[in-house]
Amino acid sequence: MNRLILLVGSSASGKTSLAKELAATINCNAISLSEILRKQAAKKGFSSLHDFFAAVGVENAFAEIRVTCFNLIKLNLDKGTVVVDGVYDSKLFNSLKKSFEKELFVINVAASRHIRKRRMILRKKIGEKQAVLRLRKSDAIKKTIGLFESIKYRDFTVRNSGNLNKSLELIKQRIAKLK
Domains of the chain as residue ranges with CATH: 4-166 (3.40.50.300)
CA distances from 131 to 8, 17, 34, 48, 113 (A): 20, 19, 18, 15, 11
Residue 179 has pLDDT above 70, yes or no: no
pLDDT at 148: 86
Note every long-range contact of 26-30, with CB atoms under 8 Å and residues 24 or more positions apart, other chains counting.
26/81, 26/83, 26/172, 26/175, 28/80, 28/81, 28/82, 28/83, 29/76, 29/79, 29/80, 29/82, 29/83, 30/82, 30/83, 30/84, 30/85
Q: What percent of the chain has pLDDT over 90?
A: 82
Residue 149 has pLDDT above 90, yes or no: no
* pTM, two decimal places: 0.92
pLDDT at 146: 87
Q: What is the mean pLDDT of residues 17-41?
A: 94
Q: What is the pLDDT of residues 41-54, one digit of tens each?
A: 999 999 988 899 99
Q: What is the mean pLDDT of the chain?
A: 93
pLDDT at 72: 97
Residue 135 has pLDDT above 90, yes or no: yes
Closest CA to 17 of 26, 3, 7, 4: 7
Residue 178 has pLDDT above 90, yes or no: no
Using the 8-state DSSP alphabet, how is residue 3 labeled?
A: -
